[in-house]
Structure 1
Amino acid sequence: MRAVVLTEPERLRVVDVPEPDCGPREVLVRMRGLGLCGSDVAVYTGSRPVTAPWLMGHEGAGEIVAVGAEVENRQVGQPVAIEPNYCCGRCAQCRAGFTSACPNRVIVGMNHPGLLAEYVAVPAEFAWPAAETVALEDLVCTEALTVARSAIRRSGVAPGDRCLVVGAGSQGLLLCLALHELGAHAVVQEPHEGRVELARSLGAEAGDGDGYDFLFETSGVPQALRTGLDRVAPGGTVLLVGISERPLELSSADLVYRQLTLRGSLIYDHPNDFADTIDALGRGTISPGKVLQARFDLTEAAEAFASVRTVAGKSWISF
């Protein structure tokens, strides 16, 4: 089968490798599509080091073609979205339902080989069957959409709340879409006009003003957070979704005098968050595939990864 591996920073190669075996608690998935995000770019550029040759990708969707002997609730032919963070289920965090903080977490494409291959073996409980009515483009976005919807869940946003989304990359766009689905009022702060227009098409607005109940920072740019903080109402809540190693321009006075709540939101918690997104896709209440703006073939993987930072939307690879 064909797979795409990183041989050195910004160098990808399509190689022939053996098809993986399907373990007793696994399913074998024929991959149909894979979305790309900033985490993939970090691996691609070398800022997140891996051992070459490295199998890339983590936002995958496909179809089950084989089921392990001990698997009872998955069937051949089912379309699935892959949850690419395998929590251990044994640690204190997992037992408390806080699996996103699992210290033993297997992170597909980051500390475990990725999904950018024609066939992949996946632990059955992390391959989520979807309704036949869900379009491939929507299924490909399941993982990224779950990140956005989990941040909203953790924030406590309710219908009618005024929300400022800082950054309209793929995660910011999906947040705008999910906030609109909830009935919240989303305004986007983003310098790239093409991304602003796409956010508008997803139900957000672009504008000035302040007094926002919630702020979702998705860009990971400290200066953008600083600008956004000035627009939050006293008593508001700030969710940090974007990641940066640089110090934030923030003092205790910013939080104390205005009585703000500051929280980080990392991925999602297994199994409820992913299950909730799969259910929403099955009901047809949200269509995240609208965020996909650039489609590439497997043989065009290098162009796909290079496009992530320039495309006004999300890039993906179709098998």
Structure 2
Amino acid sequence: MKAAVLYKPGDIKIQELDIPKPDKKDVLIKVKACGVCGTDNALYHGEYPGNYPVVVGHEFSGDVVEIGAEVTKFTPGDRVTADPNKVCHTCDYCRAGYEHLCEHLSSMGVHIHGADAEYCVMPESNVYRISDALAYEEAAFCEPLACAIHGTDLAHIKVGDTVLVIGAGGMGNLITQCAVHSGAARVIVSEPIALRRERAIENGATHVIDPLHQDLERELKNIKRIGADIVFEVAGNLNAQKQCISLVRKGGTIVFFGCSPQNGLVEVNPFIINEHELKICGSFNNQFATARAVEMLGSRKIRVDNLISHRIVLNDYLEVFKLFGGRETLKLMVIMNE
């Protein structure tokens, strides 16, 4: 099979590998579509640690083609997606209900071979059946949507809240929609790229701000004088993360969602955090949210068809790093060779 193998930062090759064999509790999946994530880009540029060599990619969907001897929930022909994170189920974090923080976490495309390949293997427990009405490209959004759902859970959005989303790439647009479905009265999106602002409006944002040509803090406080109840920083931009302190109201919540540089630092004033009783939290991975993501996509409560800007065949995978982050780029979707 063909696969995109990352040997080290900046060194990725399309090459032939053996089709993996499913163990007794595994499912072999013929991959149909795999989205490109900010983590993929960070791995390529050496900004995120990985185990090399590794087949990249973890946002995917496809068809079951073979099952292990002890698999009972799936049969060949089933249309599926998967939670790409293998956990041990035995460490202190897993046993306390924080499996996404497992001490022995192995993630597809980072620590173990991923889904930018014609086939991949995952344990039955990680695999989820998708609706026949859901296109493979749409189903490939299940993993990022699960992460967005988890981040939204952490924010504890209340009905009537004002939410600010900084960054309207694929993840920012998913969080925008999750905030709307959580009951936010106003969802304000800050994004310098016009295409992404347009998509945010289509996906439920009540206001959009261009931070390159508008003063974000002034514009926000013209909408809500005291600042946002919740601020999501989705771009992984250190300057934007620092600015969050001035954008959230007293008693509000800041969620650092974006993938920041591994060694990046943000200077904050702890006096303000204390005096304003601010809550700052990170959002990593997803915590038991994949089934909910499948339901939200299958019921069309979340729209993703307008988020795909480019479709790239696996043979041309290297093109993704030329396109990633561009002004005309939103979600990049890798389509397997047929």
Partner of 1:209: helix, strand, or coil? Answer: helix
Whether the 8 Å CA contact 1:12–1:301 is kept in 2: the answer is no
Partner of 2:281: helix, strand, or coil? Answer: strand
Matched, 1:240 2:256: yes
* Aligned counterparts, 1:201-280, within 5 A: 201-204=202-205, 205-207=207-209, 208-210=219-221, 211-244=227-260, 245-269=263-287, 272-280=288-296
Measure, in 2, the Cα distance between the counterparts of 1:284 and 1:258: 39
1:193 corresponds to which residue? 194
Matching residue's letter, 2:95: R
Distance change in 2, residues 1:214/1:47 (3 Å): closer
More displaced stretch, 281-290 vs 208-217: 281-290
Measure, in 2, the Cα distance between the counterparts of 1:237 and 1:122: 36
Partner of 1:65: helix, strand, or coil? Answer: strand
Instruction: Give ranges in structure 1 of 5+ residues lacking alignment.
Output: none
Whether the 8 Å CA contact 2:54–2:112 is kept in 1: the answer is no
Measure, in 1, the Cα distance between the counterparts of 2:50 and 2:164: 35
Whether the 8 Å CA contact 1:198–1:312 is kept in 2: the answer is no
Q: Percent sequence identity over matched residues?
A: 29
Distance change in 2, residues 1:248/1:46 (3 Å): closer
Measure, in 2, the Cα distance between the counterparts of 1:227 and 1:54: 36
1:69 corresponds to which residue? 69
Partner of 2:164: helix, strand, or coil? Answer: strand
1:16 corresponds to which residue? 16
Provide the TM-score with structure 1 as the length reference: 0.93
* Aligned counterparts, 1:28-67, within 5 A: 28-48=28-48, 50=50, 52-67=52-67
TM-aligned CA deviation for residue 217 of structure 1: 0.9
Provide the TM-score with structure 2 as the length reference: 0.88
1:282 corresponds to which residue? 298
TM-aligned CA deviation for residue 169 of structure 1: 2.3
Measure, in 2, the Cα distance between the counterparts of 1:97 and 1:281: 25
TM-aligned CA deviation for residue 50 of structure 1: 4.6
Matching residue's letter, 1:97: G
Distance change in 2, residues 1:49/1:164 (3 Å): closer
Matched, 1:110 2:110: yes
TM-aligned CA deviation for residue 49 of structure 1: 5.1
Measure, in 2, the Cα distance between the counterparts of 1:53 and 1:91: 27
Whether the 8 Å CA contact 1:214–1:237 is kept in 2: the answer is yes
Instruction: Give ranges in structure 2 of 5+ residues lacking alignment.
Output: 210-218, 222-226
Matching residue's letter, 1:264: G
Residues 19-56 of structure 1: CA deviation (Å, up to 9, x unaligned):
11111000010000001111101222233355654312
Matched, 1:315 2:316: no
Distance change in 2, residues 1:49/1:263 (3 Å): closer
Measure, in 1, the Cα distance between the counterparts of 2:182 and 2:73: 31
After superposition, the CA RMSD in angstroms is 1.7
Residues 238-258 of structure 1: CA deviation (Å, up to 9, x unaligned):
111123232213121121111
Whether the 8 Å CA contact 2:190–2:208 is kept in 1: the answer is yes
Matching residue's letter, 1:198: R
